[in-house]
Structure 1
Amino acid sequence: MYSSRCVRSGMLRASNSVNVPQPQSIMSKRRRDAAAAAASGPTPKRLKLIEVIDVDAVPEVIDLDAVIDVDADDGDAITLADSPPIQLPSGPPPGSYEARVRDKVFQRLEAQKSKIGEVAEVGIIESLYMENFMCHDRLALDLGPKLNLICGANGSGKSAALSALQIGLASKTTSAGRGGSLKTYIKEGKTYAVVRVTIKNQGEDAYRADVYGSRIIVERRFTAEGASSFKIFGTSDTGERHSKAVSTHRSELKAICDHMNIQVDNPLNILTQDNARQFLAASRPDAMYDFFIEGTQLGQLSRDYIKSQDGIHQFKRTCDAHRDNVVADAKASLEEALLKLDVARKAKNLHDEKEELQRELAWAYVHDERQKVEEATKPLKKCRKRIEQMEKELQKAQAACDDASKQLTALRAQIPSFNPADEESATLRHKITDMKRDLDTLDADIKACNADKDASDRRIADLQARIAKENEKLEGATQKVMEDFQTRLSQKQEDIKRSEEGVDRAKRAVDTLEAKREQAIAAGKTATEEKARAQDEIQRLQQAIRNAEQQQKDALAVFGPNTANILEDIKKTQWHGSRAPIGPLGMHVELVDPTYGSAIRNLLGRVLFGYAVADLRDMQRLRQILARHRSSQVTIAITDVDVFDYSAGEPDEGVPTILRALKVKDDWILRVLINAHRIEAFGLAENLHAGHELLNRVGKLQRVLTRDERRILRFPGGGWETNAMRRLLRNDPRQMLLKSAPEVQDDLQCVDAANVAESERQADENARTSQTQLEAINRSLSAARNTLQQRGRDLSAHRNQLLRIKEEAKAAAPVNISGLEDAVTKEEADGDSLVAQFTTLVQRRKEVEDTLLPLVQQLPELRNRQQLVEETVHDARRKLNEAVEFHAEKEKNVQYWTAKQRTEKKTLEELEPHVDALSKQLKDWTANASLIVDEKEFPRPRPIKELETRIEVLKKAVAAQEREQGATFDEINRQVIAAREKLGKENDKSRILYEICRALESSLRLRESLWFRFRRGIAIRCKWLFQVHLHTRAFEGKAIFNHEDATLELRVHPANSEDHSPIAKGKRRDDPKTLSGGEKSFSTICWLLALWDALACPLRCLDEFDVFMDAVNRRVSMRMMMDAAKASDQRQHILISPLGLENLAYSQDTKVFKMDDPTRQQAI
């Protein structure tokens, strides 16, 4: 293959050669004018791009045949399968360069007669799709990899395929041959057009195969309004198009075309109708030469070299300017610095004497500093000795304190943490409650049973009245019998009535006694509860007294008995947060205004008993410590140690708030309380009325706490909410928060234990009285119940007798009376059942009461047991308080010695930095002085003042010299060194720049010389291939190149024509203008095939090449192009013809597309 790609690669390889002999300069004025003309507009017809030189005079530093490989198999092969053997025409002398090129061309043609070219893996157009493009609504062409023939009548849209291919690959619209605007390619009546081109992308040379896959799909859409867009898609492993475009930029499409060497704007690669017509009709030598230069890309390469030459000239001017300006300035600076250095040497002797005195002065300072260190070390040693003595005293005090702490821990362990009497009392109370619930259920059942019995009696009386009416109707003998039965029934009913009255009286007596019993039980319960409340109040008073006494002795007692151990464990534990957990928070808070103390204690009590941690990871560890000391119910706040500014949320001065009523000793705790309750904006008021007025008056407040323990909340949208807080009990530990020692003492004095004890005694006496009355009522109730049961048995016997009399009367009575009597009998039986049920319920109630009474009587005993436990606990706590006092005394001793030791250590800390600073300064001065000179040279230096006076005199003398010079000797010496270095660097830089310039010029000369050799080789190759193609039609001809004048002439004549004998050659009758239209078209196709052999683009497109050919020339031309396409390697051909292709023989590598005939509207 012989192509522009090969030319470029040859250039790059040649540029790496060194020691290349320089050819004569070819950068003439004519070339610079040509470059300017190329930049300003299209290339003129007869532009001489590069000056012609004698190529044979250029030394062959590289093998041109290796670069322009006439034996390569990757180009367009020319096969002459159906042509006669090649006869070498007369040509250049044997052994010349042209002869060698000719021989190798003919040898390759002979070797490739039966060769079938390989299919390209990259750059082949696989399919072409058009929508609303030119005359097509929708058209899809699946092209073959080798030869594609498109035929059809005029107007069928054949040429649209090439136009769509050029438009789809971003060619210039003028190159497509249909106008200068995309709008002209949109089908008439449509608003947009779409062109889609599928390019093969396989093998080792695939473009970004990991992104695009085996195919690249380029889609271009443009509208009648002038909008145009590109979408470049990749494909999956199955060949399906990706749903999302990889790129929408024209630059990416240009990169794809450059990588695959697709030159859509090259007139020799894609010849549209206009370009083909112009090519076929181009008989002017300068036009033919332009086609040759531009089609082989030699023109573009020449313009690139001209631009490179201009850049090299500009670079050389830059090198000259650097040499004349920068290097000259550096040399002048060095000469000036050398003059100053000579003058500065005269002042150096004074400077040396000053340096010697300064070295002696350094050791004078060291000796003076040593004396200061010795004086400062004496009090430091005394202080350390006192600290050692205090450490011994502190150890003794700490040992005593540890013993007291162990004793305190043992006493705390003796205090029971659980009272079994409390659990037993709770269980007993649950049992009593359940039994009272059973009594209520039985009472409800008894009442329902009485109601059912009354209803049954009313139904019996009604039935008996109806029986009496029926008896009045009876006459005769039955009447007398019935009267006897009626008399017996009346007597028995009287007996039943008397029995029922006895039952009623007994029942009323039972009811009366039960009511009295309930009253007695209620009175006893009330008395018992009053007694229990009195006992509870006594216990609370006692607990409050103990709490107050404990707080007076131990400030931590209010927070629980194990608070000291908790704090000790917190000190010993390693924590993640920036601060260790702090708490209880109430330890660090004092109440400034006691007016609202009760309300504030109620609101903040739980928070003040809690702790705060700075890291979430510390919470679990603190919970373990609290659980170990039985304080797991304490709240823990998690908050960063952020001392933020809260002043923006505070109201004006003078407005009472919780924050202003407190004194918080720790800033972190203050922020915890602000985050928890917004205390900076929580107002304080005397009562509800004052609270509402405060909220209305102060806009920043949203909450108010009243003295009577009520909270008022104002909603942002309007409205109020008032909540009464649950008051704290007297023994609630929160009652002891935020109280000073005088306040605790006042609480102790306010305790009225005598009144509470009297209340307990009166309640106990009332309980015993109620118990005595209850026992008497229970005895009377038991007797009344026995009487009721006897009356019930008598009533049942009378009713049984009455039932037998009724049965006898029923047998003798008429049927209707008998039915009524059956109903009476049934109701009476139901009544008896209710009486039996009533008796059972009464008996069950008595059993429950009998079980309940002993349980109620056990409560006082349990209270007594609980009181004994509390007394034991109180005694243990008293001992614990004594141990706390002893421990506090020992702690005070520890604190005393600790404070004394701390004071002494503080003094030590104040002395040590001073001594350390002096020692460090002495060490530094000694080290610095040793660096200057050895101490042996100045064992006894002169006084500092004397040395400083002499040095000052010398300094003034040196300064006077430096003022004259403008710099010191060292500075001038450094200036000289810097000037020399700068001059050396600039000389080196200038030398390197000139070397680069010479290397660029050498490389460009070599590239230009190779350009001439490439042009010569391509021209020779095309000339001989042109003759070979003409030979297939028995024509002879030649291509005459004149590179000096930029002309190319084709001479063609039939081989058997007498007019073209050697004698007649001088008559110019071989001019192509003298040929027929078919012969001229055939010769032009031969020249086109010769040029195609020199192109690297994988695409060959030709439109309507045979329009001027006769049948014979057309058949031969088609066969030549089909054979060339078949034998070519990695090339695709698209040929368009308006004529039929029926008489041509196709191979399997050929695809033929027949366009439908156009539809023409008939004239009316």
Structure 2
Amino acid sequence: MAREPMRRPRVSPDSDEEDTEERPSAEVKRVKLEKVKRERHAEGSASSSSSSTSEDEDEEEPIPDLDENDESGGEEDDFEEPEYGDEDLVAAYEAAKAHQKGYAGSVADAGVLKSISLVDFMCHRHLTVEFGPKMNFLVGHNGSGKSAVLTAIAVALGGKAMTTGRGQGLKDLIRKGADKAIITVVMANAGTEAFKPDVYDPYIVIERSIAANGSSSYKFRATKDGKTIANKRSELDDISKHFNINIDSPLTVLTQDQSRSFLQNADQGKLYKFFLNGTQLSTLLDTYNVASQNIEQLKNHIKRQQEAIPHLREKVESDKRKLEASRKILDQKAKMTHLLNQLCWAYVADKEKKRDETKHIIEEFDLKVEEAEVKMLRCEKKLPLLTEKLQQGGREAEQFNANQAPLKRAVADAKHMYDEARKEIRSMELETNDLREEIETDKRGLTNLERKIEAKMRLNEPALQAERTQLTDRRARVDALLNKLRTEKPIRQKEYEEKANQRHAASRELEDIQYQLREQESVTRQIQEKIGNLERQSVHRVSAFGAGIEPLMKEIARTRWRHSQPLGPLGLYVKLEDMRYRDAIQSILGGTLCCFAVRDPQDRATLMDMLKRHARNGYRPGSGSNALPPVFMHSGDLFDFSRGDLSTYGETILSKLRFENEEVLRLLITMSNIERVFLAPTLVEANRQMDRLLTDDIVPGCQFYAADGMTTSGNKRAKQSGPYPQWRGNTLFAKDLKADVERAKETLREANMKRDEIQATERQAKEKIVALNNELNGLTARISAINKGFEPAERDLENIRRRLAEMASSDLETTESLRDELVRKIEHAEENLRKYVADMEAKKAALADRIKEIEARQKEVDEFGEKAAVKVGEIQKIAQDIEKERANRAHYEKSKQSYEEKREQQQAVLNEHEKNLEDWTTQARNFCPTRVETRHKPEVIERERGVLDKSIKDAERALGFDSTQLTIEYKARKKQLHDVESNLKSLVIMHRVLTKAMNTRKQWWSETRSHTALRARTAFVVFENLRDLDGRLEFDHDKERLSLVVHSTTRTQSQDGTTQKSHYKTPKNLSGGERSFSTVSLLLALWSTVPCPIRALDEWDVFLDAANRKVAASMLMNGAKESDGKQFILITPQDMAGIDVSGPDKKVIRMADPTRNQ
């Protein structure tokens, strides 16, 4: 902008008339701002020194003068306002604009309005307006409710109804016919400048409700339909303060009425106040004024303190003179002081002696506690061994009972069979007697028949008598042989059957022995494996959880897993605190502790493949099973299990374990409920604790595992108990591996001895089977020989009978036939008799064997009873030893507790002694900082002090005053004087620092006000010049006035030539168009200095013609474009024809036409 430099006269602020006087132009001189020189003061701190009656008075550092070097040059009146010519300012402004040509300001992330919603507010039933982040033109015909939107913004952000010019109160803003109005404003709240970003994100929703009675309420939410976060006006004040929103300032919201009459009604004082309030300089000035008042109050306080010092110093000098007059008494008091020093430290020495004696007593109790712990540890080491022996003895006793039961049943069965056999033998004897009588009768009849036959033979054929006699004798011999064979055969067959049965029984017994031998060899191998595993555990603890597991663990460590490395074996992260419950916990958790856990299904598949591959190379889990251990899935949730933990009511599995991994802890809680399963030393104790828990309704049901191998569970209605399964896997928990190896080796020696006994029994059984086989072979040969002897004897007997029949005559045939028939009957009867006799003999033999068997079984039963009695005795002895060890442990534990209680008592005494010693030492140090050693007891020093004290009092009575009290008062007054002077020095220094700081702040404030005024003045000149108006802002900071003048030039033609006249117009003399344009120029000039992010202007183009309106709109849009984080809301009843409103930073909001019948 090129124009002739000219000097402008200052127009009187009280003149409303146009000034037509011609004024020549002149050069504007720039006055340089002189720099304010500041002096630096060296501040020193007052040093304190202790006063003594024998020393001269300490020389005090002089107190600095309060008014010395008082800086008053920082007041704003001392600041000289720089003067610049309009041309220089405009040139600098245009140069800056040229430098940042094309600059576009950033869009605000917080503090600007996103939208506003009106319900029953003024003329709107329901309206929602969405705003852009930069320039917004709200366009609509008169009566469409544009100004209502601006009024709603002001009211929602805390403005008063009267300032909007739309009513006397809030109730006047409610739409006619409605009972309340609601305004909802959505404000952006993101980025680094956000207000409470953790609460309001990404918006702040401000809702103000207005009731018909004029009351109103606020609601603040993070989203439109979200939960109400606050409902107090103070929240709005915090938001406004955070974003520098002063809603009542015309620079923030200029309503329709204010825009029309803003410059016309504002005088110079109001304009200046408008400038200070809009730029918030007035707020800073008020703060500085309050601080200056406080500094002045501090100055008055310092003066009062300075006035009191001479009187206090005079009292100190007076006391000093009196003390110098009592020098001898002071010497005695010095000796008294030394005695008191000795006395206080003598008391300390006495307290130290008592403390040391108590410490010695505590050390003795510590030794006793340690000794009791050692004895308890010995008992705890013996208890597992004795418990294991007791369990083994119990199992052996159960085996004895199990083996004795079939023997007793066998004895009972044998006796029953014996009784039945005796009954059968008696019956057979009766039948045998009957057969014998019948045979005897038949034989007598046969004898009579043979006599008759012989008599007849002698009569008829004497010559054949010799041959017949020979045949008869021969027949008798053959009959005898056949009778012998028939009698022997069943006997030998019976013997064969018995021997075969014996061989079969011996074979079964051998099979049982061989099964026991295999089982014992398996037990031996398991013990050997256990010893090897325990020895490997001493090198790698992970060996407890499987054979060949080391290569598997190395591969797991090398592998890259999708989520994380598997956990496992789980027992690797678990430690057992109480070894009494090792068997129980291994039985419950053993299998689970050998397993693994992963977080991802793919990792689970990878680990399963890895386990299968290593299983083929010899890996076996430590559970004793050949099956692969399960791989569990877990989420890693470290949930809170405290509500389900029952450890407060008794010992649980969880209370006896220590975990190195919290995830493993949660896994065992989830899978095995370790926080709810109780433990007890014995089954009796478990039942007692269970009764207590159920009776007190602590739990509805529970389960206990006892260290003696038993478990019990149930509720109030039913209970059950029994032995829990023995753990067959590796030893997972070991407190002393060396002792466990020695115990396992001892068990191995016993197992080897038992295996040798079984092997010896096996050899005897085999020898018995060989002997029975030999006997069976002999019996088989004899039975075969008997069978072979029957056929020739029977054939010979048949020939003899045929020959005798041939020799008989016809008369004898009938008799011979009768004889043969009788012979056959006798033979048949004898055969039956032989069978009965053989059966009876066999029965008798079996009966004899049964008796032997009964005796043998009874003997075995008796032997088992004796062994069982011995075993019971051993078990009782072990149980007694266990009870003895438990009693000893309880005794030592009780003794330990007693010693600990006594130690705690002595510790309390020691603490009391130490506290007393500390108090006495502190008092002694306060009284005498340097320790004074003495060999005298406090009582001796007390007596000496009494004598010296009497002497001092006698001397003081003679002198007339108490030197001790005087010394105390002298020291107190001297200390008071020193403290007052030191405090006064600090206050003077503080006053200087505060005065200097306040002067600096006011200097800065004056400079800032000057720079802000220059910026606004320059911008106003530039904006006015855009319409060929020569406007300016004149600031008079001394009188707090701001004048706005517009210079215009008119040319008139006359006979004398062209005459040029200058016109200087104040706001009241401006035309409507000039006033509207100047209003826009002034607002734009001041807006650039205001931090508020919102600018709202109603009817900004009132009285502007099309050309001026276009220029004003361009000015506003450029200002909005170049501003950082500012939002403009401009309201006009005219359309935007002829004005370029394109671009992302401009938004035109068109209001609907008004409803005329509303």
Question: TM-score under structure 1 normalisation?
Answer: 0.44
Question: TM-score under structure 2 normalisation?
Answer: 0.44
